[in-house]
Amino acid sequence: MIYKTTEEIIEIVKAFEGRRILKPDWSHCKHLTIGLYYCLRFPFGKAINLMRDGLIHQDKNYGISNPITSGYHETLTMFWMLTTKQFIETSKSYNLADQANELVSIYKDEKIPLQYYSRELLNSRAARLQHIPPDLDRFYLFVNSARLASRGGVTARLK
């Protein structure tokens, strides 16, 4: 378990929004957690915009000046936000800390997008700049939901 309270998550979100997360402290776990918070709190379009804007500003703070080769990646951001949205739709918990712990547990592997996208496509300039549909598995939205549902979402063991 990573999170014990909702307040811990809110502090991470505040740090992200205040551009106070140092590069060595940035992680996939925090990325997913912030996405979860935004998806729960805002309509999906606004959640995506908040995440996108925050990541782009964060890259600037980290000195990442060439978004064509590093830093913000639109296709990956959309992949993880859609995955998070699906997770929420199948989650059986209303506690933010429990949801975040389960989300991070299920999706901790940063290579999951490679089940749906070829490395070539993900490394392309086009995928960095705009959302590109998967080239290996075009049904990832349905597949992710089915996989998560088969795992039972957040189960009673977390309560």
Model confidence over 50-82: pLDDT tens digits?
999 999 999 888 888 666 667 899 999 999 999
pLDDT tens per residue, range 95-154: 999 999 999 999 999 999 999 999 999 999 999 999 999 999 766 555 555 454 444 443
94 assigned to some structural domain? yes
For residue 1, what pLDDT is reported? 73
Distance, CA of 119 to CA of 129 (rounded, Å): 16
Whether 76 is in a domain gets the answer yes
- Decide if 130 is inside a domain: yes
Range of the domain at 80: 6-158
Q: Looking at the domain assignment, is residue 143 inside a domain?
A: yes
**Does some domain include residue 13?**
yes
Q: Quote the tokens at residue 39.
A: 């998806």
Phi-psi region of 70 (alpha: psi -120 to 50; beta: other; left: phi over 0): beta
Total domains in the chain come to: 1
Place of tokens 């992680």: 27
Q: Is residue 26 part of a domain?
A: yes
